[in-house]
Amino acid sequence: MSQVAHAPEHPTVTGIDNRKLLMWVFLASDCLFFGSLIATYLIYFGRSVVGPYPHDILDIPVTSVSTFVLLLSSFMFVLSLAAHTRGDYKAFRVWVFCTAVLGSTFLGFQVFEFQHFVHEGLTPRTNLFGTTFFTLTGFHGAHVTIGVVWLLTLFFLSLRGKLGADKNLAVDLAGLYWHFVDIVWIVIFTVIYLTGVALGPGVGK
């Protein structure tokens, strides 16, 4: 065991720092946000009257690679948090920068995928699949983008020496957000990509 959990900056009734509690409340509310988007996708699943349908267009090998990239980024971030906690700021910067690069790579995959889909004739206005797919994955991509900006902000703050030991909670909070983005993708990858395509040609029609 290398790290000790955070104690609040000021005494609180719960003994938990209010900022950390707020982050968890936000993440709980974001579960509802993404839950609603996933439910909407599932409600309209198989109700598109024109193609392209999920099995026509979703590319499992490419998306699998981007999924591995995002999983790896989460691992990089826990290493960066561990480094920051033990006071190894150089290692922290290396790992947090790697996390941001992997997050950007994931976004690159998403941009590539979206461009490919548009080229193949699937836009948000094409059919119900396009509308719900782009809305769900687009909002996830927006979350990843915010996460990458947050990670790079931490990197540059650390470079300027403004992310010392007293800011460990700030790193922890960024990590909670980043891992949340990862778990949302775990659900999206399973529900939209693997299950949607595996259920076969009949599902999209």
Partner 1 sequence: MAHGNSPAAAHHSGERQHPTPATYAKIATTLVLITMLEVGIFYVQALHSVVIPIFFILSVIKFALVVMFYMHLRFDARLLAWVFVGGLVLALAVVTALIGLFHKGLLLRP
- Site residues (vs partner 1, CB under 8 A): 1-9, 14-16, 20-21, 24-25, 27-32, 34-36, 38-40, 42-46, 60, 64, 67-68, 71-72, 74-75, 77-79, 82, 85, 87, 164-166, 168, 175-176, 179-180, 182-183, 186-187, 189-190, 194-195, 197-200
- The residue type of 97 is F
For partner 1, give the closer residue by CB, 69 or 122.
Answer: 69
For partner 1, give the closer residue by CB, 134 or 189.
Answer: 189
For partner 1, give the closer residue by CB, 65 or 115.
Answer: 65
- Residue 14 in tokens: 């719960």
Collect contacts of 180-185 with beta carbons under 8 A, ≥24 apart. 180/27, 180/30, 181/70, 181/140, 181/143, 181/144, 181/147, 182/70, 182/71, 182/73, 182/74, 184/30, 184/34, 184/140, 184/143, 185/67, 185/70, 185/140
CB of 159 to partner 1, least distance (A): 19
Q: Of 36, 46, 194, nearest to 129 (Cα)? A: 46
CB of 75 to partner 1, least distance (A): 4
For partner 1, give the closer residue by CB, 118 or 199.
Answer: 199
CA 3 – CA 193 distance, rounded (Å): 37
End-to-end alpha carbon distance in the chain: 53
CB of 34 to partner 1, least distance (A): 7
For partner 1, give the closer residue by CB, 105 or 118.
Answer: 105
DSSP secondary structure code for residue 181 in this structure: H
Q: Of 35, 24, 75, nearest to 188 (Cα)? A: 35
CB of 170 to partner 1, least distance (A): 11
Helix or strand or coil: residue 89? helix
Please give the backbone phi and psi of residue 13, each rounded to the nearest 5 degrees, phi first. Answer: -60, -40
CB of 114 to partner 1, least distance (A): 21
For partner 1, give the closer residue by CB, 50 or 183.
Answer: 183
CB of 19 to partner 1, least distance (A): 12
